[in-house]
Amino acid sequence: MSRPNLTTSIATRLVDLLRHSGLEEGAHVTEQWAADELDVSRTPARKAMLFLTEVGILTRVPNRGFFLARGAATLARTDLSEGADVEQDAYFRIADDYVGGRFTGPFTSADVSRGYGLTPRQADRVLARMESEDLVRRKTGGRGWEFQQVLSTVGAHDQSYRYRMIIEPNALLEPGFAVDPDAAAQHRKQQEALLSGDILLLPRAELFHVNASFHEMLVGFSGNQFLLDAVRRQNRLRRLIEYRHQVDRSRLAGQAREHLRMLDMVEDGRLEEAAAFLRRHLDKVRVLKTGR
């Protein structure tokens, strides 16, 4: 299963450093400066800077180095460090503990409050958010909480992707398939924004939504409500385990580019080609996330 990697971690710290630097678009950002400020060697600093180039925050000029592709003021705070606030941090700690098998059985709001350093009101808000996302539900009788059925093992996650490899490509071949130009344009803009910095700047939950809704859009074009309902259910089930994977964002630029390529095929009417490409795309992600 994926874990946060060094490149993602250093890149996140570098984004925060750049944000506080006040540098303007086009400013020179040297490897030595990044390494010194972050207290790392130049090799990991350079890898992080190459990643920031891939996602549109830096540009690289041969024989000259790296330059800021956008003003520091446009770099919103990332959520990859220790949580932007205590409720957000607790939300993801609960998710990580559940997926990691450390959070089992029914529980109460007081358990969450004590275990994650929250006030009773904060615990209630975190649980209300998780309930709205179909992750937890109140026990019968209203006393306490329990997790809904969600994907929490490597095997189940692997099966989920294999299920999607059956459903999603075939949705593109449905006789009623028709592209909604407005929806396609909106999702194209979102995927392009990922490649202009949003991969590192969006909160985990929003990043999941952008990518999950892209796949729902493609299946929705099929006109088959049963297929769309199946994909939406899978997205609900896999939300927690996907949140954990998104702590490492270094692979997401390639996925965004593949999403844009799929969209090109669909809009050009090359549906057989798009279906085959989508199946390979899902299989590639499956292997990356499960190692199977």
97 and 189 assigned to the same domain: no
Whether residue 137 is found in the same domain as residue 117: yes
Q: Over 50: is that where the pLDDT of 287 sits?
A: yes
Calculate mean pLDDT across residues 127-138: 84
In the 8-state DSSP scheme, what is residue 76? P
pLDDT higher than threshold 80 for residue 222: yes
Residue 160 shares a structural domain with residue 237: yes
CA dist., res. 65 & res. 289, Å (int): 33
Rounded mean pLDDT, 262-284: 97
Query: What is the three-state SS of 256-271?
Result: HHHHHHHHHHHHCCCH
For residue 255, what are its two tokens? Answer: 């996925």
The boundaries of the domain holding residue 257 are: 154-290
Is 153 or 43 the better-scoring residue by pLDDT?
Answer: 43
pLDDT (0 to 100) of residue 80: 44
- What is the per-residue pLDDT across 149-199, written as a single tens digit (0 to 9) for each? 666 677 877 888 999 999 999 999 999 999 999 999 999 999 999 998 888
Domain end marker among 74, 101, 117? 74
Whether 1 maps to a domain, the answer reads no
Specify the pairing of strand 65-68 against strand 136-138: unpaired
- Kindly report the CA angle at 168 between 162 and 170, in degrees rounded to 5? 105
Q: What percent of the chain has pLDDT over 90?
A: 47
Q: What end-to-end distance do the CA atoms of the chain give, in Å?
A: 10
Is residue 22 included in any domain, yes or no? Answer: yes
> What's the whole-number mean pLDDT along residues 212-218?
95
Domain boundary among 111, 132, 147: 147
Q: Which residue has the higher pLDDT, 16 or 173?
A: 173
pLDDT tens column, 86-100 = 887 888 888 878 877
Instruction: Please check whether residues 194 and 264 belong to one and the same domain.
Output: yes
Within-domain flag for 79: no
Instruction: Find all residues with CB under 8 Å of 107, minimum gap 6, and list them.
Output: 144, 145, 146
Q: Give the list of residues 6+ apart from residue 229 with CB closer than 8 angstroms, or none.
A: none
In this prediction, residue 84 carries a pLDDT of 45
pLDDT for res 4? 44
Statement to judge: residues 101 and 198 lie in one domain: no
**If pLDDT is split at 50, 70 and 90, which confidence band does 2 have?**
very low
Q: End of a domain among 51, 74, 97?
A: 74
Share of the chain above pLDDT 70, in %: 91
Question: What sign for the dihedral angle of Cα 151, 156, 161, 163?
Answer: negative
Question: Are both 255 and 165 inside the same structural domain?
Answer: yes
Collapse the DSSP code of 139 into the 3-class scheme (helix H, G, I; strand E, B; otherwise coil) and give the result. coil
Report how many domains make up the chain: 3
Q: How many helices (H) and strands (E) does the chain have?
A: 13, 5
pLDDT at 241 over 80: no
Q: Does any domain span residue 99?
A: yes
Which has the closest alpha carbon to 284: 262, 254, 263, 264?
Answer: 254
Length of the chain: 292
Residue 168, H or E segment? helix 154-171
**Residue 175, burial from CB neighbour count under 10 angstroms (0-12, 13-18, 19+):** exposed
Question: What CATH number corresponds to the domain at position 223?
Answer: 1.20.120.530
Same domain, 121 and 94: yes
248 phi, psi to nearest 5 deg? -100, 105
Question: Which of the two residues, 252 and 275, has the higher pLDDT score?
Answer: 275
94 domain-assigned:
yes
Q: SS3 for 291?
A: coil
User: What is the reported pLDDT for 103?
Assistant: 76
Query: Residue 17: inside a domain, yes or no?
Result: yes
Q: Does some domain include residue 178?
A: yes
Domain assignment present for 39: yes
In this structure, the answer to whether residues 64 and 163 fall within a common structural domain is no
Q: What is the CATH number for 90?
A: 1.10.10.10
180 and 267, same domain (yes or no): yes
Read off the pLDDT band of 249 (50, 70, 90): confident
Together in a domain, 131 and 168: no
> Do 281 and 187 belong to one domain?
yes
Residue 121 reports pLDDT greater than 80: yes
Q: Supply the pTM of this predicted model.
A: 0.70
Instruction: Check residues 250 and 53 and name the one with the higher pLDDT.
Output: 53
Q: Quick one: DSSP state of residue 117?
A: T
